[in-house]
């Protein structure tokens, strides 16, 4: 089949930019008074909302703190432990956490650290003396500390994966080794020499984390403060308010949120310059800081373990809730165990799980085909993705979802398109594409090109080289990229809700709907099902290459 060489890249760029651009336009038009929006002077009303200053401040502080903390933990883990067994172990522990849906992780954490949570139950009353939970504001605290912790727990695995992928693209490790021979201890040497080069590679993912943390809705609803909530949560509430004139205020809020994220990114950029200057000054001073090195290593390991264990223990607590009978404070374990919750929800869970898997499979497959096509076109025709190209790639992740999805819904309706499965798959594709491209482009470029030269000299044309050589060589990374895309699709809440018109139910929409009630048993069951759905393709991505290339050790990595 002959395609003009730019077809797939053009299609991919359209899928990345069109939904964002059109969605933004149709969200913001009501805020600016077009399209006959109900309500007057939305911006005045937004600024008149008494919570606007604290909510804005909260979005900024929690977003910055979560990003800074996740980046620091990631850097400390890599700095102190790269090349050791502990690093491999920590990496194994953290990477499956990437696929744990945000809402499930947040719920687990909330139950873990609440005054009547699992930690307090385990220590009460024998250690704490509490036979009633203390009246302490831990979850939903006014400063957003619980929210920061929840976001950090989810972002460290992501940044670590990005860092690992970037390692192959820089000579960072070699540089760090040189620093070691110059007498720098492991962590200090790595931070001063390897980290700056690596950071340049993972800069956009870090921006994604910042934009996401500043505008997240589901995690902030579960762990964030409420008097007032963060800006994104408040916008969602305005959209859901029975007073329809608040839709205009919500649109104005979305614009404000967008401005806030852009300002946040600019501010971060400024901080980068300051940090670079401080780092250079430290390096030029020639100090080796051996004692700091030891504490940094210990801190990195402790924080890394804390992240992994908090998410895993949170999941374990939800598993326990899903089979719990009556379970009161301060019992560390439920009175009785029963399968009642699963018996009740099991029959409803199946069809929902099937829809979830279907959407995720379609979106992840489409993304994989497009991404592979783009990379192949790039390789054959020598396209290079410049900084602008990378920005486009990250666009759907940098613009807050809450700012463009509602507009996309209005657009679809205006065009007379029916809500349903396909719009949902397409909208998921917009978010799945960037992650798939991120996951695949490193391994794609890492394939030794001499294979292709050899094949070409044996008379194999480009198409044959692609199907018979490139794809089999890339089997493991292709499967991993598929799994990443799949997990991203499984976790999508807002696109599924808005573009499915409420008629497309996935494990995630169901879990978040249940969150608004208080039934921890049902939430536990759905959170587990959601996590299992996201983890399934990762397990397959590990298993399939092992089976197919049982006799070839070099082909099993990925």
Partner 1 sequence: MKYALAFATLLATPALAGPDPESLSDGLSAEEWQAVLEAAEGQTVYWNAWGGSTTTNAFIDWVGSRVKEEYGVTLEHVKLSDTADAVSRVLAEQQAGQNEGGAVDMIWINGPNFAAMKGQNLLFGPFAEALPNWQYVDVENKDVQTDFTLPVEGYEAPWAMAQVVFIYDEASLPEPPRSIPALLEWAKANPGRFTFPQPPDFLGSTFLKQALIDLNGGDPALSEPVEAADDYAASTEALWSFIDELTPNLWRQGRAYPQTGPRQLQLIADGEVDIAISFSPGEASTAIANNELPPTARTYVLESGTIGNASFVAIPYNSSVKSGAMVVANFLMSPEAQVRAQDPEVLGYGTVLSMDKLPEADRAAFEALDLGVATLSPAELGKAQPEPHPSWMTKLTEEWIEKHGVKE
| Positions that interact with partner 1 (CB under 8 A) | 35-36, 49-51, 54-55, 114-116, 132-133, 135-137, 139-142, 221, 225-228, 237, 239-244, 247, 324-330, 344-345, 348, 409-410, 413-414, 416, 418-419, 497, 501-503, 505, 509-510, 512-522
Of the pair 5, 132, the CB lying nearest partner 1 is at 132
Of the pair 228, 442, the CB lying nearest partner 1 is at 228
Question: How many distinct helices (H) and strands (E) make up the chain?
Answer: 25, 0
Q: How far is the CB of 191 from partner 1 (least distance, A)?
A: 37
Q: How far is the CB of 44 from partner 1 (least distance, A)?
A: 16
Q: How far is the CB of 140 from partner 1 (least distance, A)?
A: 4
Q: How far is the CB of 59 from partner 1 (least distance, A)?
A: 14
CB-based contact 371:433 (threshold 8 Å):
yes
Q: How far is the CB of 64 from partner 1 (least distance, A)?
A: 19
Q: How far is the CB of 43 from partner 1 (least distance, A)?
A: 18
The strand pairing partners of 481, in sequence order, are none
Of the pair 41, 298, the CB lying nearest partner 1 is at 41
Of the pair 173, 519, the CB lying nearest partner 1 is at 519
Of the pair 190, 321, the CB lying nearest partner 1 is at 321
Query: For residue 32, what are the CA distances in angstroms to 48, 89, 252, 255, 262?
Result: 17, 53, 8, 10, 19
Q: How many residues does the chain have?
A: 558
How many C-beta neighbours within 10 Å does residue 342 have?
A: 17
Q: How far is the CB of 558 from partner 1 (least distance, A)?
A: 38
**Interior CA angle at 249 toward 244 and 253, to 5°?**
140
Provide the CA 517 distance to its chain's centre, in angstroms: 25
The strand pairing partners of 337, in sequence order, are 324
CA gap 217, 555 in Å, rounded: 41
Is residue 40 left, alpha or beta, with left meaning phi > 0 and alpha meaning psi from -120 to 50? beta
Of the pair 215, 509, the CB lying nearest partner 1 is at 509
Is residue 116 left, alpha or beta, with left meaning phi > 0 and alpha meaning psi from -120 to 50? alpha
Of the pair 34, 451, the CB lying nearest partner 1 is at 34
Q: How far is the CB of 327 from partner 1 (least distance, A)?
A: 8
CA dihedral 182, 186, 191, 196 (to 10 degrees): 60
Residues 6+ apart with CB under 8 A from 153: 97, 105, 109, 307, 310, 311
Q: How far is the CB of 148 from partner 1 (least distance, A)?
A: 16
Helices marked H in 83-144 — which ranges?
85-94, 102-113, 118-123
Residues 6+ apart with CB under 8 A from 458: none
Which among 82, 88, 278, 271 has a CA at the least distance from the CA of 194? Answer: 82
Of the pair 133, 196, the CB lying nearest partner 1 is at 133
Three-state DSSP class for residue 298: helix
Q: Tokens 């910042």 belong to which residue?
A: 210
The strand pairing partners of 324, in sequence order, are 337
Of the pair 517, 554, the CB lying nearest partner 1 is at 517
Of the pair 7, 142, the CB lying nearest partner 1 is at 142
- For every residue of 372-430, DSSP letters joined together read HHHHHHHHHH-----HHHHHHHHHHHHS-HHHHHHHHHHHHHHTTPPPSHHHHHHHHHH
Of the pair 253, 300, the CB lying nearest partner 1 is at 253
Q: How far is the CB of 171 from partner 1 (least distance, A)?
A: 49
Of the pair 102, 521, the CB lying nearest partner 1 is at 521
Helices marked H in 135-245 — which ranges?
145-167, 172-181, 186-189, 195-215, 218-223, 231-239
Q: How far is the CB of 322 from partner 1 (least distance, A)?
A: 12
Q: How far is the CB of 120 from partner 1 (least distance, A)?
A: 10
């Amino acid at each position: 089949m002959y395609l003009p060489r730019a077809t797939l890249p053009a299609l991919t760029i359209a899928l990345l930019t069109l939904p964002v651009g059109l969605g933004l336009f149709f969200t913001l038009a009501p805020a600016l008074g077009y399209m006959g929006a109900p309500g007057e002077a939305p911006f005045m009303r937004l600024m008149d909302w008494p919570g606007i200053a604290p909510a804005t401040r909260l979005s900024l502080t929690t977003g910055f703190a979560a990003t800074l903390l996740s980046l620091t933990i990631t850097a400390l883990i890599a700095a102190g432990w790269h090349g050791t067994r502990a690093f491999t172990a920590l990496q194994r522990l953290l990477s499956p956490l990437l696929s744990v849906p945000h809402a499930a992780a947040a719920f687990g954490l909330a139950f873990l650290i609440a005054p009547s949570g699992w930690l307090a139950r385990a220590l009460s009353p024998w250690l704490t003396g509490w036979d009633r939970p203390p009246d302490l504001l831990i979850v939903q605290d006014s400063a957003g500390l619980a929210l920061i912790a929840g976001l950090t727990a989810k972002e460290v695995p992501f940044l670590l994966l990005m860092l690992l992928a970037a390692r192959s693209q820089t000579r960072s490790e070699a540089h760090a080794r040189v620093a070691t021979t110059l007498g720098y201890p492991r962590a200090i040497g790595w931070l001063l020499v390897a980290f700056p080069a690596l950071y340049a590679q993972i800069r956009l993912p870090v921006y994604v984390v910042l934009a996401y943390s500043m505008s997240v809705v589901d995690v902030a609803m579960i762990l964030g403060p409420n008097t007032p909530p963060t800006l994104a949560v408040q916008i969602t509430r305005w959209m859901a308010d029975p007073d329809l004139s608040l839709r205009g205020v919500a649109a104005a809020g979305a614009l404000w949120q967008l401005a806030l994220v852009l300002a946040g990114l600019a501010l971060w950029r400024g901080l980068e310059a300051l940090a670079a200057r401080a780092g250079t000054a430290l390096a030029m001073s020639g100090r080796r800081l051996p004692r700091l090195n030891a504490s940094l290593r210990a801190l990195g390991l402790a924080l890394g373990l804390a992240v992994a264990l908090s998410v895993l223990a949170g999941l374990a607590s939800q598993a326990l809730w899903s089979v719990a009978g009556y379970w009161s404070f301060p019992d560390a374990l439920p009175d009785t165990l029963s399968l009642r919750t699963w018996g009740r929800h099991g029959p409803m869970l199946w069809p929902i799980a099937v829809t979830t898997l279907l959407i995720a499979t379609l979106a992840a497959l489409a993304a994989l085909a497009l991404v592979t096509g783009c990379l192949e076109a790039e390789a054959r025709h020598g396209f290079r993705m410049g900084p602008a190209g990378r920005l486009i790639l990250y666009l759907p992740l940098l613009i807050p979802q809450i700012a463009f999805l509602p507009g996309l819904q209005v657009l679809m309706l205006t065009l007379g398109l029916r809500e349903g499965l396909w719009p949902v798959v397409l909208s998921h594709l917009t978010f799945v594409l960037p992650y798939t491209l991120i996951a695949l482009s490193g391994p794609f470029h890492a394939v030794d090109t001499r294979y292709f030269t050899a094949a070409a000299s044996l008379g194999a044309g480009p198409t044959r080289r692609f199907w018979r050589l490139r794809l089999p060589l890339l089997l493991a990374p292709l499967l991993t990229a598929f799994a990443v895309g799949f997990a991203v699709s499984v976790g999508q809440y807002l696109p599924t809700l808005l573009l499915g018109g409420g008629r497309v139910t996935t494990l995630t929409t169901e879990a978040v709907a249940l969150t608004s009630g208080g039934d921890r048993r049902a939430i536990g069951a759905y959170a587990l099902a959601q996590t299992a759905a996201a983890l399934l393709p990762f397990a397959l991505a590990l298993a399939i290459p092992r089976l197919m290339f049982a006799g070839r050790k070099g082909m099993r990595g990925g």
